[in-house]
Structure 1
Amino acid sequence: MALGASHRLQDGVLAVETMTRFALAVLALASGVYTYLGVRSLLDGSATAVFFAAIIYSASVSVAIYAFWSYMARFYPHVTSTAARGAMIGVMALGCAMIIAMSSWLNAAALAGSAALEQHLAETVEDYTADLDQAHQNALAAQSLLPDIQRTSERFARLAEDERQNGALTGTTGSGSVVQLLSQMSSQLNELETGITASRERVTTLFDQGRAHLETMRKLVSAPGAVAPRSDDFSAEVVALSGVITSLEQTSIAPSVKRAAEDLSLGFIAPVADGRAADLANRQDQVMQTIRASVTAQSQVLSQAADDILAREPVADRRFVPLSSAEAVLRYAADFIPAWAGAISIDLLPAVLVFILAIVHGAIRRQEERLPFAERITAAELLEALEVQRALGRHGVDAERAVQAAERSGEPDEERDRGDTNITSLDMITKTPRKGPPA
């Protein structure tokens, strides 16, 4: 039973030997083709030079893969010792790492290179979208001060009108020093309000331009056709968008608001009280002191608000770096796991065949070891054993004692000496050439 199973396994190994070579050749050729497609995208120069360089590299990869797995399939299944098999596994691991380094990543570039480049462009669009939004928010941050400025300006204007009509502050109607000061403060705040409003229109125009560039970039990402020309157009749009973002950063009115707020306090120039009566002049001085305190408080509030706006994190400098298909596949490897799995499987699938052969040969050896000696000996070995027995008989040597003496050759010296004569006779007989057919 065991002998029949062993023979069937041996017949199976012989039957699939041609198929194994054919499979190794096809897999090596497939890896070479995809390696050619991947390496061609990395080379620069004339079309002829790129073609021949890619062909030579891919052919070298195919030959190397076929030779490596042929060696492993031929020798690994027949290595039985633990140390030797461990060394072979180490060599196999090193070879697999080298195959992945020289071929698999290029195969992945051929399989998913265009998709990886589009992924890179899409990621870049998202980054620049965030930068444009941040620059827009920073530029519009000063607009939040506009209601406070308008309210303060209106308050000063209303107080000036009340003082002029009713003498609400000094008790004396007319356009005197207090009215002049209040009107002056209202005019300065109105100028600041006008500047903020004008900047909003500029910011809106730049933001619209940035959104137009982003829309073009999105269309280039999803457009059909080769990705290389689209990448070139995409780079041009990135340059234009970067200029828009820089302009938005420089359009912020916050520095101007801070300077204007400081001028309200530091540049405060109160007019001389113009009241003819001493009592009116004193009341005017008191009111102007109150106005000065109010202006100082308002200046501090605006200055602090401007500082908060200026403390916002500016848009980080960003530079678009075009990638080759191989570089894009490496950078976004986590997004293209199926492509990587297919690329590596093409190169390392022969390892499965090697382990199958190793398992089958191991099973054959174990089955043969359990067979009796009579079933394991070949016809040639049987004929040779009979010839040796006849030769021993012609020389008068007991074959059984000679065998026992040979078995004792590994014993200590004093026990081995007793069998030296028989061993010597056996060696001489077995080494004597035949002069004719056995009797």
Structure 2
Amino acid sequence: MTTITEVTTDMSTFETLESEVRSYCRSFPTIFDKARGYKLWDVQGREFIDFFAGAGALNYGHNNPRIKRKLIDYLTDDHVVHSLDMATVAKENFLKKFQDVILAPREMEYKVMFPGPTGANSVESALKLARKVTGRQTVVSFTKGFHGMTLGALSVTGNSFKRHGAGVPLHHAVSMPYDNYHEDVDSLSLLEHYLDDEGSGLDMPAAIILETLQGEGGINVASNHWLQRVEAICRQRDILLIVDDVQVGCGRTGPFFSFEEAGIQPDIICLSKSIGGYGLPFALTLIKPKLDQWAPGEHNGTFRGHNLAFVASTEALSYWETDELTCETLRKGEIIQRSLSSMTAKHPDTEPEVRGRGLMQGIAFGRKGFAEKVCAIAFERGLIMETSGSDSEVIKVMPPLIIDDEGLNKGLAILDESIQIAKETR
């Protein structure tokens, strides 16, 4: 196996001209030039396996040839690229295919809103609509949750570092314990007690927002039973249920929506990242029809009509015309689970814990700073992966869904070696 022993790329342009807020380029200090499928190459021609997938935005891989051809044809024929929320052929095609391929087969009835190009845009629109429909202000979120970097999304985000970046108080949100937050805490019994006790200080909320699998929060998985209980709590009290499927939707856990296995029906669903198909900025907010109470233009934005994303997403939805991608994702997820379990068995002194499902899995380490060290070593050896969790204590395995077994196993082998090296060089 070729080892990348030294990164010598000149990063001075970025260090001099780009803001200090940059982050990923510090973890992956090279200049990338080309990408295809599950691989990237830098300007020096070094090859990297991608276990990061654009933070979940590249489920169908880099430069997917099927999607790329559709985009090239669309541009070559001078079709509309920017259109705000005007009607276009590309939007019509997307709406029809999303209905026919995703919603109708699942017997899901939702109106589709285009809130803007990012996941945070989707979350903001969901929070705003929930408050408008219910006439209430408070939103309940959960510990370790991450929902975006704008003020409304930050108010329901748990990470203290990111919350402090707001610079102002974050109001009208209450955080409750997530599933398995502490072995001695029944999080939903506690929530019910707070909701039903008029002395709790918690006003009846407009909505509850959650991720079924907390990616940025540390690969924390909610059980189906817990999710079903949350839905029941909402239904009993006329609270809206918002599921943030921005990172773990679009097949990341197997089925298209991460909550399908639990059998719940959210009132509002937030989608972004891989819904764009090609890594293009795109977001959706799915709304139960009775809740679609917007006045025209009450929530708008210049880049709602991203027609290239409509084209890319429409082609990406072709992967969901059969259950092949779901089955393959679940199969590859089993490979990852077995491999990570084998790694942890060899290194019990690192206090490891395997977490996740599908192609969103990871290992949480009890040793402070160890996960970051493993990821740095992996990068030197040709594997791109990030950490997650409040203290960056989790290594995150999140390759494109289209990765083949050869690439998956090669990447896992690099990870295995990187853990061993990290132990030896402490």
Greater per-residue helix proportion = 1
Greater per-residue strand proportion = 2
